[in-house]
Structure 1
Amino acid sequence: MSDAPLTIRRGPLFRLTGVRIAGAGSCLAERVVTNEELGRLGCDPEWILQRTGIRERRHAPPGVTTSDLATEAARRAIADADADPAEIDLLVLATFTPDRLLPQTATKVQDRLGLACPAMDVVAACAGFMYALVTGAQFIATGSARRVLVVGADTNTRVLDPEDKKTFPLFGDGAGAVVLAPGDASQGMLAATLGADGSGTDLLTRRMGGVERPFADPDAAEPTDATCRPWLMEMDGRPVFKWAVRLLEDTFDHVLTGAGRDKDQVKLWLLHQANARILDAATDSMGVPRERVVKHLDRYGNTSAASIPIALDESLKAGLVRPGDELLMCGFGAGLSWGTALWKW
């Protein structure tokens, strides 16, 4: 990988209106893990807070899986939408930590919810919820579905190396979900874009588990070097940080310009909760008031595909969203991939 900055490869803009979010729900793993607890593993609690903004995160206990978190978040979203499970026409689950490599985790969630609909996984790491949301919105906007359940869920702690003291403290486990339904012509995505840059593939990755390098017994597997366990996640944090700040500044401008809006018309900024310094750097450069940028990573850490729907659910429950409000949603991460949308409520 070159030391030169990654270019920002803009994807096309599109509009998906006539779609509304009828309900939302979330589910966090029960166990709270503080920075002080991680200090016993050799992590510096003050470094974690100063460099990431994270004070604590949630870890799923043994036996709790991604499908468990996803199912509960989905149940809550369906109840919030006052929907009958029989009305759900499609389930799209965003995750990069599936219960199994085969079959898709969405089918397990579908069965547990008693749904009679297609069910598929979308794998786009921390951008996964935005990819799944666009997919579900397309089904609604084209009239191919009347109710779509979109879930973002990840059990990150199962694929992290506890000895990686710069990465392990960043992540937590959780799930969020929304139910999409037909809306009026003004509702939905006023402008949106999806993008990817595969030149950053090795910056955030799990090298083992696919056909390129199938799983072996982890105890017998030989690390590629002294610091890497290829069956677990690894991240080159510095270039990812720099890319993320530049990407956010560019994609915000891209989408707002495409929608004919400016930053002051955005009620809330619901951004992937990767690192408080990334969010502050990107939004401060645009003059966005920090109180409009929703943050929960201080309590939950980076919950990957779950972070945006968790932020949305908590904002709705707090009464922060009203009809006609415009919300800027953006997910970004491994791939490198991203998705951004200006959503009118």
Structure 2
Amino acid sequence: MGRSATPTAYVAATGTALPGDPVDNETLGKTLGVSVEWIDLFVGSRYRYFGWDPATFEVRSTLADLCAEAAAQAVDAAGLEPADIEFLVLSTATPDVLLPTTATVVADRLGIDHIPVTQLQAGCSGAVQALSLGRSLIADGAGAGLLVGGDVTHRFLAQRPDVLHMPTQELVNHVLFGDGAAAAVLTAEPVAEGVAVRGVLNRCTGRGRAPGQILDWYGISDRAVERQLMSEDYKAVEEHVPVMSGEILWELLGELGWGAEDIDYLLPPQLSPRMTDRIVERLPAPAVAEVSCVADTGNTGNALPFLQLDQVLPRLETGQRALAVTVESSKWIRAGFALEKV
């Protein structure tokens, strides 16, 4: 038998924020000097959103703007008031500034005060880390809390105007990533959507392994140094992520005492549509309905699991189950969660 099915927290509602109009491959290709076919070959996304203007590099939406919008939507959809929120956890790899944290700025904009506010520095697994912490806070007695995940790219992609001279690896990042935020309200009782969190997995497995992703930053002492701020080891990602995804799925199923046939919806990793297809082909759940959004949003980092959650919540019927698999390649983190409609 697996763990007890008694839920410790419920997902009540979600909210999302994607800035501006969607940027299609033809528009982006003209800006970067690459073909639509090239974008489709390497990435497979159809659209992505930017909080900055790709033509002028003007920043129009900050991370705090997007996170506050998504969070307000989630609270309203749950039928709650900001005063009902007893904690806020925000995950991001791209805060607007180091201090004050984006989490505290978002809390201020929502009119929330005198509660625990935590910011997690993480990549794609950050939303799952936020869920893990939020679940613990609910178990410790909180009645309702807010989880937010988001990322913006202007600091890493908009500062290189010489895109025509970029190496292919760096150029891929400009068509792979996008901006966005998403949020979820976690409650101790089944209100609104009332989807029970049955399990959460969060494991760092990168001991002795080189990072698969690096996000750098500039300070006063090295601001004039020319170097790539965002880098990915795509060969390592292609080699390890599909294997790790299968490990995550089996570990979650084993802990819960579920079989692959017990899953109704699968929320697979969302690095890119091309990589998602490769991963799903190797997972032992061929009859499961796939919930993916990366083709229409681009890779929005910390927002992605909550964007998938936003899609699956209204589709779940009583007794149905969903399982999310998330891999962070920075230092190789295996993460995921399991849900059941009650």
TM-score, normalised by the number of residues in structure 2: 0.86
Partners of 2:122 and 2:87 in 1: CA distance: 19
**Is 1:314 matched up with 2:311?**
yes
| CA gap 1:78/1:344 in 2 versus in 1, 3 angstroms | same
Please, which of 118, 127, 130 is the counterpart of residue 129 of structure 1?
127
| Shift of residue 216, structure 1, vs aligned partner | 4.2
Please, which of 80, 91, 100 is the counterpart of residue 88 of structure 2?
91
2:117 corresponds in structure 1 to 119
**Is 1:193 matched up with 2:191?**
no
| CA gap 1:251/1:291 in 2 versus in 1, 3 angstroms | closer
| Shift of residue 280, structure 1, vs aligned partner | 2.3
**Is 1:141 matched up with 2:147?**
no
Please, which of 16, 22, 27 is the counterpart of residue 26 of structure 1?
16
What are the equivalent positions in structure 2 for 1:224-303 lying under 5 Å apart?
Answer: 229=228, 232-289=229-286, 292-303=289-300
Aligned residues of 2:123 and 2:302 also touching (Cα < 8 A): yes
| CA gap 1:255/1:99 in 2 versus in 1, 3 angstroms | same
- Residue type of the partner of 1:28? L
Partners of 1:324 and 1:141 in 2: CA distance: 23
Matched pairs, number: 317
- List gaps (5 residues or longer) in structure 2: 53-58
| Shift of residue 200, structure 1, vs aligned partner | 4.3
- Residue type of the partner of 2:139? A
| CA gap 1:237/1:75 in 2 versus in 1, 3 angstroms | same
1:202 partner SS:
coil
Please, which of 178, 188, 194 is the counterpart of residue 182 of structure 1?
188
- List gaps (5 residues or longer) in structure 1: 1-12, 224-228
| Shift of residue 133, structure 1, vs aligned partner | 0.6
| Shift of residue 336, structure 1, vs aligned partner | 2.2
Aligned residues of 2:11 and 2:195 also touching (Cα < 8 A): no
| CA gap 1:290/1:301 in 2 versus in 1, 3 angstroms | farther
**Is 1:305 matched up with 2:305?**
no
| CA gap 1:289/1:29 in 2 versus in 1, 3 angstroms | farther
Superposed CA RMSD: 2.3
What are the equivalent positions in structure 2 for 1:26-105 lying under 5 Å apart?
Answer: 26-40=16-30, 41-61=32-52, 62-105=59-102
1:31 partner SS:
coil
Partners of 1:301 and 1:271 in 2: CA distance: 15
2:15 partner SS:
strand
- Residue type of the partner of 1:183? E
Aligned residues of 1:14 and 1:193 also touching (Cα < 8 A): no
Aligned residues of 1:70 and 1:153 also touching (Cα < 8 A): yes
| CA gap 1:199/1:27 in 2 versus in 1, 3 angstroms | farther
| CA gap 1:283/1:129 in 2 versus in 1, 3 angstroms | same
| CA gap 1:178/1:29 in 2 versus in 1, 3 angstroms | same
Q: What do residues 248-302 of structure 1 show as CA deviations (whole Å, max 9, x unaligned)? A: 0111011112211122221211233212233222322234347711111111111
| CA gap 1:113/1:258 in 2 versus in 1, 3 angstroms | same
Identity of aligned residues (%): 30
Partners of 1:313 and 1:115 in 2: CA distance: 23
| Shift of residue 201, structure 1, vs aligned partner | 5.0
1:7 corresponds in structure 2 to none
